[in-house]
Amino acid sequence: MRVITFGEIMLRLAPEGYSRFIQAASYGATYGGGEANVAVSLAGFGIDAAFVTKLPKHEIGQGAVNSLREFGVDTSLIVRGGERVGIYFLEKGASQRPSKVIYDRAHSAIAAASEADFDWDRVFTGSTWFHFTGITPALSDNAAAICMAACKAARSKGLTVSCDLNYRANLWTREKAGNVMGSLMEYVDICIANEEDAYDVFGIKASGSDVTSGKISHDGYKEVAAALIKRFNFKKTAITLRESFSANDNNWGAMLCTGDDCYFSRKYAVHIVDRVGGGDSFGAGLIYAALQGMPEQEGLEFAVAASCLKHTIEGDFNFVSTDEVKKLAAGNASGRVQR
């Protein structure tokens, strides 16, 4: 059971604590990005996970490789070359002040890569699962073309393909996103989205929902899932359900729909340490659950518990063991000291 994820890994530069950007005298430096985050989660669960991207040969690129290796991800398929590593600056919000992201990712090695950089047949040999997100095709037309090539190769090799829609308004328009993602969906088996993505990318809206106010209607989301499945013929669609009361306090849960049934997870009241990567950790949990053959409800609870824990961990990556996730999914949420 080998999982391939493909996308961009960025240098993440975040001021310490709740410092605003203009107060920062230094930046904590870690690495992260949607698909890389999924690979790290899976490696932490004991899955053979490889991340595919393109990274410059210099030390900032090497730092990204090392960070993945450190947490057990296979980096042997990463192509080395190009000019720069994408960067994102992250300012952590508090209470009524939202977190803020400044992207400096244009012209990165992966955004400037060409189709010829990747030999997908070789990459997918021996693999069972391919995962990407809607961020990667948004990086550049080249990146979108590479995604398409990867999807086709994955389909032809018989891999399960999952995609997290992950709409990013500052990377492309809804219109372009709809077109590009629409054609990629043909090759996708399992679709993951947050409560806004389906609308942003495909114009599919949950009736009765108002994301900003934190109101979420279960029936509305069932509609959305049903519409997605109907349009793209997905085997499963999962939607994460976040109710945002403040930058510190959110409710977190998710829904999973197969064609026939919809499952809703327990809902966690989370006091947030770092919510970036929350969706990615959910996706990884779902992939893990599928690979382990967990029943739908159990798998969904695993994924939600894993991503609940992500919110308590600094950085993009989710450092939790399957033991920790299972304990929480089993109901132990009291936070008592483990000695």
Active site positions, annotated: 280
* Closest distance to a copy of itself from the beta carbon of 69 (Å): 5
Ranges within 275-294 binding a copy of itself (CB under 8 A):
275-276
Pairing of strands 262-264, 190-193: unpaired
* Closest distance to a copy of itself from the beta carbon of 321 (Å): 10
Task: Say how far apart CA 186 and CA 53 lie, in whole Å.
Answer: 23
Q: Which residues contact 55 (CB under 8 A, 6 or more apart)?
A: 9, 61, 62, 64, 65, 78, 79, 80, 81, 82, 85, 109, 110
Task: Say how far apart CA 53 and CA 177 lie, in whole Å.
Answer: 21
Task: Say how far apart CA 182 and CA 175 lie, in whole Å.
Answer: 10
Ranges within 140-199 binding a copy of itself (CB under 8 A):
168-170
* Closest distance to a copy of itself from the beta carbon of 106 (Å): 7
Q: Closer to a copy of itself by CB, 103 or 207: give it.
A: 103
Choosing from 3, 9, 13, 52, the residue that interacts with a copy of itself (CB under 8 A) is 13
Q: Closer to a copy of itself by CB, 103 or 259: give it.
A: 103
Long-range contact pairs involving 63-68 (C-beta distance under 8 Å, separation at least 24): 63/11, 63/29, 63/31, 64/9, 64/11, 64/31, 67/9, 67/30, 67/31, 68/9, 68/31, 68/36, 68/39, 68/40
The 68-107 contact track toward a copy of itself, x by CB under 8 A, reads -xxxx----------xxx-x-x-x-xxxxxxxxxxxx-xx
Choosing from 116, 175, 213, 323, the residue that interacts with a copy of itself (CB under 8 A) is 213
Q: Closer to a copy of itself by CB, 53 or 307: give it.
A: 307
Q: Closer to a copy of itself by CB, 27 or 157: give it.
A: 27
Q: Closer to a copy of itself by CB, 235 or 326: give it.
A: 326
Least Cα distance to 307 among 264, 262, 276 occurs for: 276
* Closest distance to a copy of itself from the beta carbon of 134 (Å): 13
Choosing from 150, 272, 287, 289, the residue that interacts with a copy of itself (CB under 8 A) is 272
- Sign of the alpha-carbon torsion through 310, 35, 244, 236: negative
Q: For residue 279, which phi and psi values (nearest 5 degrees)? A: -65, -40
The helix (H) or strand (E) run that includes residue 179 is helix 174-184
* Residue 313 touching a copy of itself (CB under 8 A): yes
Choosing from 244, 281, 290, 299, the residue that interacts with a copy of itself (CB under 8 A) is 244
* Closest distance to a copy of itself from the beta carbon of 81 (Å): 15
The footprint of a copy of itself on this chain (CB under 8 A) covers a number of residues equal to: 87
* Closest distance to a copy of itself from the beta carbon of 22 (Å): 5
Spatial contact of 176 and 202, defined as CB atoms under 8 Å apart: no
Q: Closer to a copy of itself by CB, 131 or 310: give it.
A: 310
Q: Closer to a copy of itself by CB, 149 or 247: give it.
A: 247
The helix (H) or strand (E) run that includes residue 79 is strand 79-80
Long-range contact pairs involving 319-325 (C-beta distance under 8 Å, separation at least 24): 319/44, 319/71, 320/44, 321/44, 321/45, 322/45, 322/46, 322/288, 325/285
Identify which range of 140-148, 176-184, 224-232, 242-250 contacts a copy of itself by CB under 8 A: 242-250
Identify which range of 22-30, 125-133, 139-147, 178-186 contacts a copy of itself by CB under 8 A: 22-30
Rg (CA), the chain: 19
* Closest distance to a copy of itself from the beta carbon of 162 (Å): 22
